[in-house]
Amino acid sequence: MKKFAAFFALLAVLASAPLFASGNTPHRGEPGKNPAVFGADGIFDLYEELDLTQDQLLKIKELRSVSREKTMNLRHEIHKTFMEQKDELEKDSPDVKKLEASCDRISANQNELMKIKINDMLEVKKILTPEQNKKLILLMETKKDSFKKKAFFGKHEEK
């Protein structure tokens, strides 16, 4: 029974790994062409469309720098915990309590990542003008729709 539970814990870990793959990384490609535009990082993809001032860009850049430090540390902790789970699951008799505790740590770190992303968006809203905020919401909706058109694991549909 314990091996069965350990197998499903490993399966859950492996299934959730793609959720962390994209992370809070700098976007590549042309500005405004990336589908996921959230937080201080994503706003840089829309700088031309939002007509940001130099002061706004500097404030958002500082916010992004602080957020990246926090998220990088959390993502490192999540990765480290995944590796600990893997090591535990490879044992002949994995400790289910250790595996469950590691799942709790991963969940707590994921929760913290989500809070950082939300706080980033709230801070970005304070930096933008009301008109820019309205435009950002419309642009995010457009990007969200294009994101939904992507096939699973990053294959893109042609427009």
> What is the end-to-end Cα distance of the chain in Å, rounded?
49
- CA–CA dist 45, 29 (Å, integer): 9
Q: What is the pLDDT of residue 88?
A: 94
Could you read off the pLDDT tens digit of each residue along the chain, which spans 159 residues? 555 454 444 444 444 444 444 443 334 344 444 434 445 555 656 667 888 899 998 998 898 889 998 999 999 999 999 999 999 999 999 999 999 999 999 999 999 999 998 999 899 899 999 999 998 888 878 777 665 554 444 444 444
Task: Give the model's pLDDT for residue 40.
Answer: 54
Per the CB < 8 A criterion, the answer to whether 32 and 45 are in contact is yes
Token pair belonging to 14: 């492996």
Q: What is the pLDDT of residue 52?
A: 87
DSSP 29-67: SSTT--S---HHHHHGGGHHHHT--HHHHHHHHHHHHHH
What region does 94 belong to: left with phi over 0, alpha with psi -120 to 50, or beta? beta
Domains and CATH numbers, the chain: 2-13+39-149 (1.20.120)
How many angstroms from the chain centroid is the CA of residue 33? 18
SS3 78: helix
